[in-house]
Amino acid sequence: MALLAQYLVGGIAAGSLYALVALGIVLLYRTSRVLNFAHGDLATFGTFLAFAALTSAGWPFGTAAAAGLAATAVLGAAFFFLIIRPAKESTLLGKIVITLGLALVLQGGIAVLWGTDTKIFPFPLSDTRVYGVAGVVVSQLSLGSVAIGLALMAGLYGLVQHTRLGLAMRAVSQDATAAQVLGIPVKRIFALTWGLASGLGAAAGILLAPVTLLDPFMMLDPFLKGFAAAVLGGIDSMPGAAAGGLLLGVLESLFAGYVSVRFKTTLAFVIIIAVLIVRPEGLLGQEYKRRV
Amino acid sequence: MELRQRYEEDLYHVRGALGWTALLGSLAALALLPVLTPGYFLYTASLIAAHAVIAIGLNLLVGYTGQISLGHAGFVGIGAYTAGILAARLGVPWPAALVGAGMVAAGFGFLVGIPALRLTGPYLTIATLGFGIAVNQVLTNWEWLSAGRAGLFLPKLTLAGTRLPDRAIYYLYVIVTLLLIWGAANLVRSHVGRAFVAIRDSDIAAEVMGVNLTVYKTLAFAVSAFYAGIGGAMLAYLLGFLEPQMFTLFESIYYFSMIVVGGLSTIPGAVLGAALLTILPQQLAGLKQYLPLVYGATIVFVMAVDPLGLYGRWLKIKLWFKTWPF
């Protein structure tokens, strides 16, 4: 029983980070119909910026993390406006290919700027300091990342569901042209969404960095898991993305604990394919319809 | 501009004196290449042949049928490992191993094609991405099958008991590639190719016009995977060694960039892209850390500025001269 609880706790800790990544992907897809394959690499870039501010410039942790998030947000918005929007090939395939290209550019840029060796990210919370409750052991770090992850999710939910800004975001995601006609500054909403999503990704990156260590490919696996979580929950549903992330984390942890550690990553993709076949719109997504 | 008056004229692969000159000229160049270039280039040329086969197959699926596959390295890996296991463990001769690799990959292509019937756009992209990663994971972890990270060694290509020299391997690869190019060109101009294009342009409209989506979508996946399988087997024999990390997401993106840079939905474009993206990393060997940066920037540039790729640019130049001075 204690073992099961331990797996559950580990799964939720991993799952809350998957959920953060998934939320970013869903936010972008809902608003601009772009499946952003550069999402993970943007996050890595932000994490490296925070790392540079922390170690080379010697800024305190809070300032460095905030600077990393802000820079990533600006970069994300710039991507959309400078490259994706003006691109000639604006089909779905074209946009996907462009974000794939951006992912390679970022990955290559990070490797050139900081090298491909792994680095240790100094983090104020400790991985080795643990708390035990009823036989279940939780590290300070995973407790902190769950708390920050849930707080960010709650904040995002509040923003989207309970503010005028969130209302405008939802309107733009439903129909950008109609929103424009009603006087919503669509361009600014796009910029904000891209910034917000990229910032969320960077936050996940900074929370992951002390566990996975820092290297140019650190976000590849979490990004793919985030993707899986987004599909699991429904790629246009934000509660779905959060639920999908947590569910995937828990399933993965249970699978690793009771079945096989080696095929842990394969599970995520088996789940994706199974979900896509049985219920392509995901657990909480809207049914996929198309006008002919 | 030339005027086409009969349907048969529209079907010709090669048109006019210029077309024949270009075709015979490139065939002569391919035949003379071993005489004219230093020995190590033969290896590169054989590698280009293998990559061209993969790129043509991917282009049939992505360019012609409009089904995005980000898991093509999975099919290539299945082909390579099928050839490797058939040749190294079961002692099957290479022609049978090559065909076997294509057939097994085509079988998997058919299986991936079935969920693709229900999936479009982003969903299909994710499903194929998942397939590619799953194949990589299985190859890495199922050591009984693939020998895992220790690697699988292939026997050398032989003919009647004697080992083929590099030059013979080059000619063999060129002949296989030319046969597959010919097959793809014929497929594209037939009713099957037109059904593929119709599905790409609008699958619902295609279905209304009587194109059986179940048949043609799974067929597109199977044919594309067949090419990937043969290309994978060619890679396997050329390198003589297989390792799961040779077939990762990065390779899928690499094959994808070939067709994007060369030109989507053209066969010469796929060959051109394969040649360019095979030679480029070898020339930039000293600048290896800049390679992803260069690939990425090239892809973004092509898609943002010139979505038809290199071959599309060439067609535009040709058109400009044909219609000059208008």
Of A96, A98, A103, the CB nearest to B68: A96
- The count of CB pairs under 8 A between chains A and B is 135
> What 8-state DSSP symbol labels residue A133?
E
Q: Give, in order, the Cα–Cα distances in Å from A97 to each of A83, B34, B46, B166.
A: 12, 36, 28, 36
* Chain A nearest C-alpha distance from B230 (Å): 25
pLDDT over 90 at B76, yes or no:
yes
Strand positions, DSSP E, A167-213: none
* Cβ neighbours of residue B94 closer than 8 Å, sequence gap 6 or more: B83, B87, B157, B158, B237
Please give the ipTM for the structure prediction. Answer: 0.76
Identify the weakest region by mean pLDDT among A16-30, A187-201, B142-156, B224-238: B142-156
Contact B300 A270 (CB under 8 A): no
Four-residue CA torsion sign, A78, A82, A86, A91: negative
Domain-located, residue A133: yes
The predicted-structure confidence for A243-276, as pLDDT tens digits, reads as follows 888 888 888 888 888 877 777 777 877 787 777 7
Q: For residue range B174-184, list pLDDT tens digits in order.
A: 889 999 999 99
Tokens 């501010």 sit on residue: A53
Q: How confident is the model at residue A209 (pLDDT cuts 50, 70, 90)?
A: confident
Q: Which residues of A touch B125 (CB under 8 A)?
A: 35, 96
Domain assignment present for A284 = no
Cβ count within 10 A of residue A198: 31
Is residue B226's pLDDT more than 90? yes
| Domain-located, residue A172 | yes
Task: Report yes or no: A273 and B127 within 8 Å, Cβ to Cβ.
Answer: yes
pLDDT given for residue A89 in this prediction: 62
A287 inside domain: no
CA angle A275–B113–A19, rounded 5-degree value: 30
Tokens representing residue B1 in the block: 């501009």
Helix, strand, coil percentages (3-state) for chain B, rounded to 5, are: 80, 0, 20
- Chain A within 8 Å of B30 (Cβ-Cβ)? no
Cβ–Cβ gap B303/A101 under 8 Å: yes
Distance separating alpha carbons of residues B216 and B213, to the nearest angstrom: 5
Q: Give the span between the Cα atoms of A254 and A240, in whole angstroms.
A: 21
pLDDT tens for B94-138 read 888 888 899 899 999 998 888 777 777 777 887 888 888 888 888
B289/A269 Cβ within 8 A:
no
Q: Which amino acid is at B306?
A: D
pLDDT, greater one: B150 or B5: B5
Return d(Cα A72, Cα A123) in angstroms, integer. 19
- pLDDT surpassing 70 at residue B74: yes
Please, what is the end-to-end C-alpha distance for chain A in angstroms? 53
Name the amino acid, one letter, at B108: F
- Give the residue carrying structure tokens 């010697």: A58
Model confidence at B230: pLDDT above 90: yes
Which pLDDT score is estimated for A8?
85
CA angle B107, B109, B114 (to 5 degrees): 100
What is the residue-wise DSSP string for B146-209?
H-GGG-EEPPPPEETTEEPPHHHHHHHHHHHHHHHHHHHHHHHHSHHHHHHHHHHH-HHHHHHT
Give the pLDDT score at B245.
84
Contact A266 B138 (CB under 8 A): yes
For tokens 């090559």, the residue is: B98
How confident is the model at residue A146, as a pLDDT? 86
Residue A77: domain span = 2-278
CATH number of the domain that residue A103 is part of: 1.10.3470
The pLDDT tens digits for A101-124 are 888 888 888 888 887 777 777 777
Q: Which two tokens stand for residue A255?
A: 């699978």
Out of B24-28, B62-66, B164-168, B247-251, which region has the weakest mean confidence (pLDDT)?
Answer: B164-168
CA A180 to chain CA mean position, Å: 28
Summary mean pLDDT of chain A: 82
pLDDT for position A174: 82
The answer to whether residue B249 neighbours chain A at the CB level (below 8 Å) is yes
Q: What is the tally of structural domains in chain A?
A: 1
Q: Which residue shows structure tokens 């919503």?
A: A184
**Residue A137 pLDDT grade (very low, low, confident, very high; cuts 50, 70, 90):** confident
Average pLDDT on A159-167 reads 88
Residue of chain A whose Cα is closest to the Cα of B201: A91
pLDDT in tens, B50-71: 999 999 999 999 888 888 888 8
pLDDT, one tens digit per residue, over B11-24 is 777 777 777 888 88
Q: Which two tokens stand for residue B16?
A: 């006019």
User: Least CB-CB distance to B123: which of A103, A224, A276?
Assistant: A276
> A69 is written with which tokens?
């998030």
Q: Is residue A215 part of a domain?
A: yes
Tell me the per-residue pLDDT of A60-107, one tens digit each, with 9 for 90 and over.
Answer: 888 888 888 899 999 988 888 888 777 766 677 778 888 888 888 888
Q: Residue B40: pLDDT band by 50, 70, 90 thresholds?
A: confident
The residue behind tokens 């190294």 is: B88
Cβ separation A269–B130 shorter than 8 A:
yes
Nearest chain A residue (CA) to B129 = A269
Say if the Cβ atoms of A276 and B119 lie within 8 Å.
Answer: yes
Cβ contact, residue pair B115, A227, below 8 Å? no
Burial letters for A100-114: b for 16+ Cβ neighbours within 10 Å, e otherwise?
bbbbbbbbbbbbeeb
Instruction: Give the mutation candidate from A95, A276, A278 for the B interface (greatest B CB count, under 10 A).
Output: A276
Interchain CB contact of B122 with A (< 8 Å): yes
Q: Is the pLDDT of residue A131 over 70?
A: yes
Checking DSSP bridges between strand A130-133 and strand B158-159, what pairing results, if any? Answer: unpaired
A79 in any annotated domain: yes
Question: Closest by alpha carbon to B186, among B4, B14, B1?
Answer: B14
Q: Do A86 and B300 touch (CB under 8 A)?
A: no
The winner for highest mean pLDDT among A67-71, B33-37, B163-167 is A67-71
* Cβ pair A97:B298 closer than 8 A: no
**Chain B positions in Cβ-Cβ contact with residue A262 (cut-off 8 Å):** 141
Cβ–Cβ < 8 Å for A245, A201 = no
Question: Where does residue A35 rank: exposed (0-12), middle (13-18), buried (19+ CB within 10 A)?
Answer: buried
- Of A88, A102, A269, nearest to B305 by CB-CB distance is A88
* Distance, CA of A118 to CA of A63 (rounded, Å): 23
So where are chain B's domains? Answer: 38-249
Quickly state the pLDDT bin for A36 (edges 50, 70, 90): confident
pLDDT band at A290 (very low <50, low <70, confident <90, very high): low
One-letter identity of residue A204? A
- Cβ distance A100 to B125 less than 8 Å, yes or no, reads no
CA pair distance A173, A158, nearest whole angstrom: 17
Query: Which positions in chain B touch A292 (Cβ < 8 Å)?
Result: 204-205
A123 in helix, strand or coil?
A: coil
Q: Is the pLDDT of residue A286 over 70?
A: no
CB of B245 within 8 Å of a chain A CB? The answer is: no
